[in-house]
Every structure is written in structure tokens, then in C-alpha cells.
Amino acid sequence: MSRPAFHLAIPVDDLDAARRFYGEVLGCPRGRQDRTWVDWNLAGHQVVTHLAPGRRGDAATNPVDGQGVPVPHFGLVLDVPDFHALADRLRAAGADFVIEPYVRFEGEPGEQWTMFLRDPAGNALEFKAMADPDLLFAG
């Protein structure tokens, strides 16, 4: 692999729903699996959905660019064309966005496309695409 990958384990309360969402809706290739977990390839990064039944509390939000961003969340930075292709795929699948795809910080150095949604277990996900990828970590 040419770039470092992260590993993220997330709790889910229904592995079949996770398989549909991560495999069919997001289009992540499935890796190894067992009775209580499934590995997913999310753009070269390992996301593991672990069966963890039980109710989770509602996530808090922080205001960012006038939107209530769910906390905690995890996400992926995409190229702009890939961002729009994923947004179209999610819309076609009937995704219920927490924050619809839009341009955040328009005209500023951190200008980016962003969208937030939740998986079937309520885990918040963000997908973004920087107008200028070199400014992802700009101060």
C-alpha cells in the first residue's frame, strides 16, 4: 500500500444492516469476517464493524459553519469527483443525511465539500473533498 492506512473498530447492533450499508450502499469491499464482526476496505483503510448490542446515547453536536456537526464521527477525505459520485450513490440509496452535501467555508482556504450521515447503528460518518487538497491541515 502506497499510503498509510488507519484501522477503526465501530460498534453496530445489527451485522446484516451493517453488511447492507457498508457493502451495498457505500460499496466497500468486504474482508475477513466472523460471527460477531466484519472487516471492510474503506478506500484502503480497515473499518471493522463489531456486534455490540445495546442502545447508544445520542451524539452531541458542535457548530461548524452554521451546521450541527455530530460528535463523535469519523470520515474520509475524497477527491472532488469521488465525493460527488458517492453523494449521488447515497442519494440513490435513499440515505438520510444529517448534513446534506454542500460547500463549507466557501471562498476560504479550507473550502471543502462535506456531508454527514449515520450508519444503521447510528455511527456518524463524514465524507469531504477539499477544493485545494494541500490545505487539508492548513492552520
Contact 129, 77 (CB under 8 A): yes
What pLDDT is stored for residue 139 in this prediction?
Answer: 66
> What Rg do the C-alpha atoms of the chain give, in angstroms?
15
Question: 60-135: same fold as 7-51?
Answer: no
* 75 SS3 class: strand
Report the candidate in 6, 47, 50, 3 with the shortest Cα–Cα distance to residue 28. Answer: 47
* 61 SS3 class: strand
The number of residues in the chain equals: 139
What pLDDT is stored for residue 105 in this prediction?
Answer: 93
Q: From 3.20.20.140, 1.20.140.10, 3.30.465.10, 3.10.180.10, which CATH number describes the 60-135 domain? A: 3.10.180.10
Q: What is the pTM of this model?
A: 0.88
* Confidence bin at 1 (pLDDT 50/70/90): very low
What number does CATH give the domain 7-51?
A: 3.30.720.120
List the beta bridge partners of residue 39. 48
Summarize pLDDT for 98-110 with one digit per residue, the tens: 999 999 999 988 9
| Every domain of the chain and the residues it spans | 7-51, 60-135
Averaged pLDDT score across all residues of the chain: 91
